[in-house]
Chains A and B, each alone.
Chain A
Amino acid sequence: MTTGNAQLVTPQITQRLRIVFRKGAEIKYISHLDLMRAWERALRRADMPLAHSRGFNPHPKLTFASALPVGFTGRAEMLDVILEQRLGLRDFAARLKAQLPRGLELGSVTEVPAALPPLPSRVAAAEYEVAVQSQDTPDQIEARLRGLLAAESIPRRRERPDKVRIYDLRPLVQELHVVERLGDMTVIGVRLQSNAQGTGRPDEVMAALGMADAVRVIERVRLILLPD
Chain B
Amino acid sequence: MISEAALDRILPKVTKPARYTGQEWNRVRKDWSKAKLKIALAYPDVYEIGMSNLGLAILYELLNQQDDILAERVYAPWPDMENALRKAGLPLFTLESRRPLGAFDWIGFSLQYELNYSNVLNMLDLAEVPLLVSERVDMPTAPLVIGGGSCTYNAEPLTDFFDLFVIGEGEEVVLELAQLYLAVKASAAPEENWKEGFLLRAAYIEGVYVASLYTVHYQSDGTVSAIEPMKAGVPARIRKRILRKLPPAPIRPVVPFVQAVHDRAMVEIMRGCKRGCRFCQAGMIYRPVRERPMDEVLEAVDQLLANTGYKEIALVSLSSTDHACIEPLVRELSERYAAERISISLPSLRTDAFSVELAQIIQRTRRTGLTFAPEAGSERLRRVINKGVTAEDLLRTAKAAYANGWLRIKLYFMLGLPTETMEDVLAIANLVKAVRDVGRRERGRRIQVNVSANTFVPKPHTPFQWLPLQDAASIRERQMALRKELRDRAIKLNWSDADETWLEAALSRGDRRLGRVIQRAWQQGARFDAWSEWLQPELWRQAFAEVGLHPEFYTSRQRSLDEVLPWSHIDTGVSDSFLWDEYQRALHGEPSVDCAEGCMDCGVRAAFGLVNCPPAGSGRGTVN
Contacts and interface: CB of A to CB of B under 8 A. Distances in A.
Given A41-B310, A101-B25, A216-B8, A34 B257 contact: yes
Interface stretch (A2-10, A156-164, A171-179, A188-196): A2-10
A62 B311 CA distance: 15
A27 B257 contact: yes
A38 B309 CA distance: 9
B1 interface: no
Nearest to B310: A41
A90 interface: no
A71 B11 contact: yes
Nearest to A38: B257
Given A1-B338, A3-B338, A29-B18, A56 B365 contact: yes
A102 B4 CA distance: 15
B97 interface: no
Interface string B302-317: 0001111111000000
Contacts of A3: 335-336, 338-339
A197 interface: no
Interface in B316-335: 335
Contact of A99 (B11, B305, B309): B309
Contact of A44 (B23, B258, B309, B336): B309
A7 to B, nearest CB: 9
A41 B255 contact: yes
A214 interface: no
A103 B11 contact: no
Contacts of B338: 1-3
A151 B107 CA distance: 57
A122 B18 CA distance: 30
A71 B17 contact: yes
Interface residues of B, number: 32
A52 interface: yes
Given A29-B11, A33-B259, A34-B258, A2 B21 contact: no
Contacts of A26: 21, 23
B24 interface: yes
A124 interface: no
A37 B256 CA distance: 10
Contacts of A43: 309
Interface centre among A37, A70, A99, A102 (most CB of B within 10 A): A37
A56 B16 CA distance: 30
A37 B257 CA distance: 7
Contacts, number: 80
Given A37-B259, A41-B308, A45-B308, A30 B339 contact: no
Nearest to A33: B259
Contacts of B257: 27, 30, 34-35, 37-38, 101
A204 B257 CA distance: 27
A5 B17 CA distance: 43
Contact of A103 (B23, B310, B365): B23
B503 to A, nearest CB: 32
Nearest to B307: A45
B17 A70 contact: yes
Contact of B339 (A2, A25, A31, A103): A2
Nearest to B368: A56
Residue among B18, B310, B338 facing the most chain A CB atoms (10 A cut-off): B18
B366 interface: yes
A11 interface: no
B72 to A, nearest CB: 15
B231 interface: no
B364 interface: yes
B78 to A, nearest CB: 14
Interface in A58-117: 58, 70-71, 99, 101-103
A41 B21 contact: no
Interface string B333-362: 001101111000000000000000000000
B12 interface: yes
A30 B308 contact: no
B25 A41 contact: yes
A140 interface: no
Nearest to B366: A56
Contacts of A52: 341
Contacts of B306: 45, 47
B25 to A, nearest CB: 5
A5 B364 CA distance: 19
Interface in B38-59: none
Contacts of A42: 25, 309
A127 B519 CA distance: 52
A45 B259 contact: no
B27 to A, nearest CB: 9
Nearest to B309: A41
A25 B365 contact: no
Interface string B4-15: 100010011000
Nearest to A45: B309
B17 A102 contact: no
A47 B306 CA distance: 8
Task: Give the 3 A-B CB pairs with smallest separation, nearest first.
Answer: A41-B309, A44-B309, A29-B17
14 contacts: A1-B364, A2-B339, A3-B335, A3-B338, A29-B17, A29-B21, A30-B18, A31-B18, A41-B25, A41-B309, A43-B309, A44-B340, A45-B25, A101-B257
Interface of A: 1-3, 5-6, 25-27, 29-31, 33-35, 37-38, 40-45, 47, 52, 56-58, 70-71, 99, 101-103, 216
Given A3-B335, A25-B4, A30-B18, 14 more contacts: A2-B338, A3-B339, A27-B18, A27-B23, A29-B11, A29-B20, A31-B16, A34-B259, A38-B25, A41-B255, A47-B306, A71-B12, A99-B309, A102-B23
